Structure 1
């Protein structure tokens, strides 16, 4: 992990958007990097941990309090559920980020704006997040595209944990790579270190990871839950 930034570097101004990511769960599986390299945009490659593997994540959560630069609230876009499938990427500049394979959202307008504006593969879905005590359930059904893909994840939230080196590597990500208008882009972000709690999977049925074209090669890592962090996004930068 030499040169890996555990803490977020300063975000170059201007800040474009601020959001709070709450009630979030990380579910991870190991992946052979050779089987997913073709999914990465030019200028990026699978990010590989010291174990020789990369990873795929299923990440359901609730988006809160979105605001434009200057903290102008976005009421319609401000609070909604999301479920993301993401891979891990690195570019020639050494920026360790994520590469989204899909981002489920219940907000149809978000799908159009982000697909056209940033090339991010948002999809429209019916999503529900319910929590009773230490039990949380995420349920979703894809509406568009590939209508009918489903996810159900029920977990019991446990005590706070100290992340392992691998878990730090997976969660300390300060940007995303994407492809738009024939170019590869880096979208920087910053947020505090994730407060993490152990989570036990009670039930999991998922169509999204298989539909993303990613095939895990081993059992899942331990599930992790976080009450959330506030994140800020900067201006996208084209890879040279």
Structure 2
């Protein structure tokens, strides 16, 4: 089972922020198709027999170092969009694997040091009543997206809703080392959402060229404001002990 609330306290955060105006668009895929995009240390996680890939545009708000108050004027706020899937490490710990991350704030590219697949680009998020519009184009022009949703009433999350939206660590890989980054925040306040428009080439750019198994599942969230991203740590490879 996946926990609705954070599985661990991040007592020494590396970064604090808010994740606001977030939409989750999830498609089911054959597990084999998604597994082919993962490093050998990770196994694709499944729900109802399918692997799920999520397109999640949002606003990264009031990004700051630990100890800096959120009310300080001039803190960076910018758009970000993730293409992600769900995985488990060899010890069973579940988490996120990012197929790509689009961002409109160049300092975030520093996370490439641990393998986070950040791509600089031009991104926008705008709201008009209950309609939220997202768009983005990767800096090198090889991927883009445009998404318009109508947000609806709040929902009480089902088991599948929690499984699709609640993960408390991310895995990345750089130079043969797998890294784990913990995250802590309040549970997502979820709402119904309806797709008015979706055009995207992020999935094919990530190497996922086959069609999904079904229609997308869509959620909207006004967001969470107390996000604590922990220090990334390397996972020590498991080794099979030889009999003496």
Q: Normalised by the size of structure 1, how large is the TM-score?
A: 0.90
* Alpha-carbon distance, 1:33 to partner: 1.1
In the alignment, is residue 169 of structure 1 matched against residue 155 of structure 2? no
What is aligned with 1:223?
218
C-alpha displacement of 1:163: 2.0
2:117 to 102, 117, 121: 121
Question: What is the aligned counterpart of 1:202 among 196, 215, 240?
Answer: 196
The one-character-per-residue Cα deviations of 1:174-225 (angstroms, maximum 9, x if unpaired) are 0101002321111110111100111111111111112111234322333111
* Distance across 2 between alignment mates of 1:169 and 1:40: 19
Query: Is contact 1:97-1:177 (8 Å) kept?
Result: yes
Mean alpha-carbon deviation: is it higher for 34-43 or for 57-66? 34-43
Indicate the residue corresponding to 1:99 in structure 2: 97
Equivalent in the alignment of 2:16:
18
Provide the C-alpha distance between the structure 2 equivalents of 1:232 and 1:143, rounded to a whole number of angstroms. Answer: 28
Match of 1:39, SS state, is coil
Distance in 2, matches of 1:109 and 1:238, equals 22
2:240 paired residue number = none
How many residue pairs match? The answer is 233
Partner of 1:53: 50
Structure 1 unmatched runs, 5+ = none
Is this contact kept in 2: 1:77–1:107, CA < 8 A?
A: no
Distance 1:172 1:6 in 2: 6
Runs of 4 or more off by more than 6 Å in structure 1?
72-77
- Could you say which residue in structure 2 is the equivalent of 1:150? 144
Distance (Å, rounded) in 2 between the aligned partners of 1:178 and 1:216:
25
Are 1:43 and 1:239, in contact at CA under 8 Å, matched by a contact in 2?
no
1:89–1:152 CA distance, 2 compared to 1 (3 A)? same
Going from structure 1 to structure 2, the CA distance change for 1:238 and 1:128 (only over 3 Å counts) comes to: same
- State the secondary structure of the residue aligned to 2:107: helix
Deviations 1:8-54 (A, max 9, x none): 122243211111000000000001111121322232110112x1111
Structure 2 equivalent of residue 137 of structure 1: 133
Contact 1:114 1:120 (C-alpha < 8 Å) held by counterparts: yes
Aligned to 2:59: 62
TM-score (norm 2): 0.89
Q: What are the ranges of 5 or more consecutive residues in structure 2 without an aligned counterpart?
A: 237-244
